[in-house]
Amino acid sequence: MSFIRTIEDFVCEHCGREVKGNGYTNHCPKCLWSKHVDKDPGDRLEPCGGLMEPIAGEKEGKGHMITHKCVRCGFIRRNSLAKEDDFDAFVAVSRRPNGNA
C-alpha cells in the first residue's frame, strides 16, 4: 500500500495539546502519544481507535525512531521522530527499561 498524506489538526487525547498537522504528523509532539487510526499510514481505515503509547525510542541512522503500542489492541508501529517533537520526552521514553512504560 502507498502512503496517503492527510493534512489534519487534532487535539491529543493523552495530554490535551492542540496539534497543527502537516500531512505527516502522526503523534503529539509534546507527549509523543499517537492514535491507532491507520491500517496503512494515512488511510484512516483502522476501526480500533485506541491510544498508541510511546514505549521505546532509539537512534537509527541519522534519525530517531519511536515505537508505539496500542493500549487497546496491542498493535505496534514504529514512527520517525519529527524535528518539532519534544526531545526530552523522547529521551525519557528511550530510557525506559525493556521498552516498558
Can you give the pTM of this predicted structure?
Answer: 0.88
CA 97 to CA 100: how far, in whole Å? 6
Average pLDDT on 37-52 reads 92
75-91: per-residue pLDDT in tens? Answer: 999 999 999 999 999 99
Contacts 24+ apart (CB under 8 A), 45-50: 48/72, 48/73, 48/75, 50/75
Please give the pLDDT value at position 40: 86
Largest CA distance in the chain: 35
Under the banding of pLDDT at 50, 70 and 90, the label for residue 70 is very high
- Grid coordinates representing 22 are 502537516
CA 3 to CA 52: how far, in whole Å? 19
Q: 7 and 26 in contact (C-beta within 8 Å)?
A: no
Average pLDDT, the chain: 91
Average pLDDT on 2-28 reads 90
CA 89 to CA 31: how far, in whole Å? 6
pLDDT at 2 over 90: no
